[in-house]
Amino acid sequence: MNSWYFSHLTLIQGMLISVPLALSVQIALRSGVFSFASIGFYGVGAYGTGILTMRGWPVLPAMLLMIVVSGLVAYLMSAPLIRLRGLYLGMVTFAFDLILTVVATNGGELTGGALGLLGVPLGIGTGGLLAAALVAILAVSQLERRAVGRALVGIKASEELVMSVGVDLKSRKRTVFAISAALGALSGSLYVLTFSTVQPTSAGFTLIITTLTMAVIGGTSSWIGAVIGTVIITWLPTLAATIGEYQHLVYGVVLVLVVMYAPEGVLGALRWLWRRLAPRLRPARPPALVPSGGPPPDRGAAARAEPVPADRVKG
């Protein structure tokens, strides 16, 4: 166990660092906010924490400062962004991330140019990473459980419906945007404190795709999906040595297949299985409670089936 732990330490660390980032994309997608902005804030967190700690700041204040600043900046930025339709928001935030990589490349001595930051003091152990990942999971899962989170599910199903019952959609979406950015900054900070280096391309195109794959493969309906996706994407390449070179090809194929056949991800597939198996595993109910003719109605499935509002049926 011990030798396995040490030989896989980098993967374990990478996985724990990815958890908040995957959550940041999942929480946004779950609320119908198709945003990649958290990847940009991952870069902000990594560079910010790196620069501050290299100038003698203690680790925790530097991290917290970057997380809070990212959340605030994202909240301010979100005002014009959240009125955009999904696809356009996606592309704008895509552009935002890539502009940041150009800025980092041109940052001169502060950001180290194309080479990035080198020699950031190591400031966190695996225990710290685990704690941070758990805090992120706890925060997101609590958010999902409360009324805020339930309203956010509604946003995805039908924005009009949610607004009609008096939910302030705009402020909810802006909050999600800010939390997503804070999670991204947290992940970036963890990265730079663990691996002591960051390059402009670290928060670029590849990271966007990898993180999106994690969230989508796992399933965006709950934090569990993001965690499942992170575990799968981290360990998939180690399962077969041959995957190594073709890693991104496998990701690509898997992503396409998931979108085509299981848009709810692994989590959706598991839930589907559970719905099919659960009635058989449960002890039979007294016949009096069953409506005559036919098996007991599957209330769970009916409740979960997404309603299609009449005005959305036609494209």
What are the residues binding other proteins (CB under 8 A)? 34, 80-81, 83-88, 90-92, 94-96, 98-99, 102-103, 105-106, 114, 205, 209, 212-213, 216, 245-249, 251-256, 259-260, 263, 308, 312-315
Q: Between 168 and 306, whose beta carbon lies closer to other proteins? A: 306
* 197 in Cβ contact with 54 (< 8 Å): no
Q: Between 87 and 165, whose beta carbon lies closer to other proteins? A: 87
Q: Between 260 and 303, whose beta carbon lies closer to other proteins? A: 260
Amino acid at 78: S
* 34 in Cβ contact with 86 (< 8 Å): yes
State the nearest-atom distance from the C-beta of 154 to other proteins, in Å. Answer: 15
Q: Which residues pair with 117 in a beta bridge?
A: 198
Q: Between 260 and 284, whose beta carbon lies closer to other proteins? A: 260
State the nearest-atom distance from the C-beta of 207 to other proteins, in Å. Answer: 12
State the nearest-atom distance from the C-beta of 147 to other proteins, in Å. Answer: 24
Exposure on the CB side of residue 116, measured as CA atoms within 13 A: 21
State the nearest-atom distance from the C-beta of 289 to other proteins, in Å. Answer: 35
Per-residue burial over 231-266, b = 16 or more CB atoms within 10 Å of its CB, e = otherwise: bbbbebbeeeeeeeeeeeebbeebbeebeeebebbb
* 155 in Cβ contact with 31 (< 8 Å): yes
**CB contact set of 121 (below 8 Å; sequence gap of 6+):** 53, 54, 196
Q: Between 285 and 312, whose beta carbon lies closer to other proteins? A: 312
Quote the CA–CA distance of 178 and 142 in Å, as a whole number. Answer: 16
Q: Between 103 and 269, whose beta carbon lies closer to other proteins? A: 103
Report which of 230, 249, 205, 257 is spatially closest to residue 36, judged by C-alpha positions. Answer: 205
State the nearest-atom distance from the C-beta of 80 to other proteins, in Å. Answer: 5
The number of angstroms, rounded, from the C-alpha of 163 to the middle of its chain's C-alpha atoms is 25
Q: Between 97 and 144, whose beta carbon lies closer to other proteins? A: 97
State the nearest-atom distance from the C-beta of 3 to other proteins, in Å. Answer: 32
State the nearest-atom distance from the C-beta of 225 to other proteins, in Å. Answer: 14
State the nearest-atom distance from the C-beta of 312 to other proteins, in Å. Answer: 5
Joined together, the tokens standing for residue 81 give: 């962004």
Report which of 56, 59, 26, 25 is spatially closest to residue 42, judged by C-alpha positions. Answer: 25
Query: CA dihedral defined by 98, 103, 105, 107, rounded to 10 degrees?
Result: -160
Query: CA dihedral defined by 162, 268, 136, 201, rounded to 10 degrees?
Result: -100
Q: Between 287 and 315, whose beta carbon lies closer to other proteins? A: 315
